[in-house]
Amino acid sequence: MEKIRQWVNRLSIKKKLIFYGYLTVSPVMILISLVLLIFNYDKTKEEWLDGNLSNVTALSESLNAVQTEVKDFTTYLCINTQLKQLLKTDNKNNIEEKNKNARLWEEETPIEYVQNVLALKGYIKTIAIYPENGIRPYLKGMDGSVYVPEIKSIWLSDIYADTLKSEYRYMWKNIPKGSSELYKMNKEDKIVLCREMFDTAMRVPLGYIVIGISYEYYQNLVKNVVQSNNEGVLVLGADGSELSRYGEVDERVVRYLKSINYKDKKYLNGGKYFSYDGYDIVCGQIGENSGVLCKIMPRYGVWAQLEGSVYTSLALLTGVLAGMLPLFIIISNLVTRPLHSLSNAIRKFSSGDFEQQVEVVTMDEIGEVADCFNSMVNAIKNLINENYVIKLREKESEIAVLQAQINPHFLYNTLDSLYWQAMDDENEELAESILALSQLFRLVLSQGQSEIMVESEMELVSCYLKIQKMRFAKRLNYSVEVDPEAKEARIPKLIIQPFVENAIVHGFEKTEGKCELKVRARRDGDFVRFEIKDTGIGMTREQIDRVWRNEPERYAKQRIGRYAIRNIRERLQLMYKDNFKLYIQSIVGKGTRVTIILPFKEDTGEAAKIISRR
C-alpha cells in the first residue's frame, strides 16, 4: 500500500485527476461486470461442457474408424478361403515342400490384395501372418521394421498370452521404437493390432496376425482435441494399457484411469464427465471392445468456465473506461492549465529570467499561488538589485584598482634592462635567469586570457624550471616534453605549474640528493594527458587526502598569482564538470606522479596570437 501511495505522489496533477476519476468510476463498472458474469454462468458452463463432449465424441469416432478399418482388414484375412487353406495344411512333407517355394505367399494367397491395401492405407506400416502349422510366416515392413521371424518366439510372449485371454481374441497395444516381443527391429513407434486366426468350425488356432499402424498418424488425430498447452488426451486399450498420450497429462490421473473398470462406469455411457484430483475428465468409448478416450483438463473453476463471458465483460468495461478518458482529460486540463503556466514561469525564473510574471485568471487556490509567485519574483528582483549588483560592482571596482597598480610594460622594460646589463657584464647565467623570469611573467599575465595553448603552458613550466635550476644547481635535473599533436590544444591557464612547484618545494627542499623531474604532455584520443613525475621524498596516502580535503597551511602559501593546488581541481570541475581526471600517486622515499587528463579542445586562434606576440 505504501508503494502505491508513493507512486501516486510522484504523478503530476493532471495524471492524479485522471487516476482518481477512474478510481471512482471503476468500482461501479466492475460491479456491473460481476452481475453480468453471474447471469451468464450457467449458460457458459453448459456450452463449455457440450464443446468438450463434442470434441471427444468426434475424436472417438475418428479413432474408431481407423481401428475398424484395420480390424475389418484382419477379418478379411481370417475368412479368406485361399489363406485358410494354406494355414490348414497339416502334412509335414507338404509343409516342407511349400516352404521351399520363395513365392509361396504370392502364389497361394491373396497377398497381392494385401500389398495393395498397404499401399492405399499409408498409416499401416507393418503386417505379419504367423501360421500355426509351420508354414513360413509372411512378414512385411513398409518402414524398414523387422518382425520376429518365428512363431515360437511369439508363443512365448506376453502379448500372445493376453490376446488369447481377451474376449474377442484380439487386442490393441502400443509398441515403442526399438526391439520388443513382436519386433526384432522397430523403426518407429506403432499402435499394433494383434489377432488370433482360428477355424470357426473346429475351434482350433490357425495363425496369428500382427498389424502395426503409424503412431504419428494416431497422434495427428488425437492432437486436434487439445486446445491449450495444459490439456491432454489419453487413449487406453480395452485391457487398460496405454495406447496413446498427447499434451499435458498428470501421472496420478493416468494411474487412476488405468485402475478403473470401464464397463461399470457411468461416464462411458453417453460420454459423461467427472472430476479427479483437480482435473476435469471427459471420456468416450472407441467402439466396442476397442478402448476408451479421455480428455484431461485442469479444473479452473468458475473463471475458466466463464472465459467467454469474462472477455465480454472486460471488453465492455474497457470500452466504457476508454470512452471516459477524453472527458477526464478535458476536466484535468481545465484544472492544470494554470498550473502549467506557473510551472513554466518557475523554471524560467530558476534559469535566471527575473522578469517572469504569471497572469492571474482565477480566484481559487491556484490563483492565490500565482499571485504569491508574482510577489516573490518582484521581491527577489529588488533584493538582487539592492545587494548582488551593488556588491558585484564593488568587486569590479576593486579589481580595476588592483590592475591599475601594475603596469606590465614597466615590469617588462625593467627586466629587459637588467637582462642587457647582465649581458654587458658577461654574466650569461644571470642573464638567462632574468630572461626566464621575464618570460614567466609574460606567460602568467597572457594578456588576461583564461585559456592558453598547451605549448604556452609548457613553456611557462620550462621558464619556471630554469629559474629553479639556478637555485638547486646540479641537484635538479628536469625535462619538459610536448608531443606535436598536443601543442595546439587549449587548456585553463596555470594548471601544470602549481604541481611542478609543489614537487620542487615539498619534494626536493628536504633532501640533499639529486632529484629528477619530468613533465610530459601528449594527446590520448579525444583527451590531452599530462604527467608530472619526480623522485622527491614522496607523500603518504593521508597527506594526499589532506591536499584535497582541507588545504594545509604549508600548501596554501605556495601560490603563483592567486592559484593554489587544491583550487586547480575546483577550476577543472567548473569548466569540465566530470569530464576530466586528476589523481596523485606517490610512494614515500621514491617520489610522486601527478596525472591530469583533460578533453582535447582545438585552439581558436587567441592563444596563437599570444605566442606570436612574444
- pLDDT per residue over 53-68, tens digit each? 888 888 888 999 999 9
Q: Given this model, what pLDDT does residue 308 score?
A: 61
* pLDDT-wise least confident of 49-53, 340-344, 426-430: 426-430
Q: How many whole angstroms separate alpha carbon 207 and alpha carbon 140?
A: 16
Q: Given this model, what pLDDT does residue 216 score?
A: 92
pLDDT: which is higher, 270 or 464: 464
Q: Kindly state the average pLDDT of the residues 3-29.
A: 74
* pLDDT-wise least confident of 235-244, 431-440, 543-552, 598-607: 431-440
Q: How many whole angstroms separate alpha carbon 248 and alpha carbon 349?
A: 66
pLDDT: which is higher, 307 or 326: 326
Q: How many whole angstroms separate alpha carbon 460 and alpha carbon 11?
A: 57
Rounded to 5 degrees, what are φ and ψ at 245? -145, 135
Q: Given this model, what pLDDT does residue 445 score?
A: 55
Q: Kindly state the average pLDDT of the residues 469-478.
A: 79
**Confidence band of 215 (pLDDT split at 50, 70, 90):** very high
Q: Is the pLDDT of residue 444 over 70?
A: no
**Confidence band of 137 (pLDDT split at 50, 70, 90):** very high
Q: Given this model, what pLDDT does residue 404 score?
A: 44
What value does the mean pLDDT of the chain take? Answer: 79
Q: Kindly state the average pLDDT of the residues 4-18.
A: 72
Angle, helices 565-576 vs 541-549, to 10°: value is 60
Q: Is the pLDDT of residue 607 over 50?
A: no
Q: Is the pLDDT of residue 611 over 80?
A: no
pLDDT: which is higher, 114 or 385: 114
The residue to which cell 592567486 is assigned? 562
**Confidence band of 420 (pLDDT split at 50, 70, 90):** low
- Say if CB 138 and CB 111 are below 8 A apart: yes
Q: Which three cell numbers stand for residue 389?
A: 549588483
**Confidence band of 432 (pLDDT split at 50, 70, 90):** low
Q: Is the pLDDT of residue 330 over 80?
A: no
Which of the residue ranges 228-237, 304-313, 546-555 has the most confident prediction, judged by mean pLDDT?
Answer: 228-237
Comparing CA positions, the residue from 224, 243, 267 lying closest to residue 171 is 243
Q: Kindly state the average pLDDT of the residues 132-148.
A: 91
Q: Return the DSSP state at 548.
A: H
Comparing CA positions, the residue from 205, 197, 212 lying closest to residue 147 is 212
Q: Given this model, what pLDDT does residue 431 score?
A: 65
Q: Kindly state the average pLDDT of the residues 582-597.
A: 91
pLDDT: which is higher, 594 or 460: 594
Residue 173, SS3?
A: strand
Q: Given this model, what pLDDT does residue 355 score?
A: 75
Q: Is the pLDDT of residue 433 over 70?
A: no
Tell me the per-residue pLDDT of 101-126, one tens digit each, with 9 for 90 and over.
Answer: 989 999 899 998 888 988 888 899 99
Q: How many whole angstroms separate alpha carbon 348 and alpha carbon 35?
A: 53
C-alpha angle 381-386-390 in degrees, rounded to nearest 5: 120
Q: Is the pLDDT of residue 14 over 50?
A: yes
Tell me the per-residue pLDDT of 165-181, one tens digit each, with 9 for 90 and over.
Answer: 888 888 999 999 988 88
Q: Is the pLDDT of residue 600 over 70?
A: yes
Q: How many whole angstroms separate alpha carbon 294 and alpha carbon 286?
A: 10
**Confidence band of 139 (pLDDT split at 50, 70, 90):** very high
Q: Given this model, what pLDDT does residue 440 score?
A: 61
Q: Is the pLDDT of residue 423 over 90?
A: no
* pLDDT-wise least confident of 59-68, 437-446, 552-561: 552-561
Q: Is the pLDDT of residue 283 over 60?
A: yes
Q: Kindly state the average pLDDT of the residues 262-274.
A: 55
Q: Given this model, what pLDDT does residue 185 score?
A: 92
Sign, CA torsion 15/19/22/26: positive
264: Cβ–Cβ under 8 A, 6 or more apart, which residues? Answer: none
* pLDDT-wise least confident of 54-68, 130-144, 449-463: 449-463
* Domains of the chain as residue ranges with CATH: 2-45+314-345 (no CATH), 59-216 (3.30.450), 220-305 (3.30.450.30), 450-613 (3.30.565.10)
Q: Given this model, what pLDDT does residue 603 score?
A: 67
Angle, helices 454-472 vs 606-613, to 10°: value is 40
pLDDT: which is higher, 547 or 424: 547
Q: Is the pLDDT of residue 302 over 60?
A: no
Q: Is the pLDDT of residue 391 over 70?
A: no
SS (H, E, C) 189-234: CEEEEEEEEEECCCCEEEEEEEEEEEHHHHHHHHHHHCCCCCCEEE
Q: Given this model, what pLDDT does residue 266 score?
A: 47
Q: Given this model, what pLDDT does residue 258 score?
A: 82
Q: Is the pLDDT of residue 520 over 90?
A: yes
Q: Kindly state the average pLDDT of the residues 411-434.
A: 62
- Say if CB 186 and CB 176 are below 8 A apart: yes
**Confidence band of 558 (pLDDT split at 50, 70, 90):** very low
Tell me the per-residue pLDDT of 18-50, one tens digit each, with 9 for 90 and over.
Answer: 777 777 777 877 787 777 777 776 777 777 778
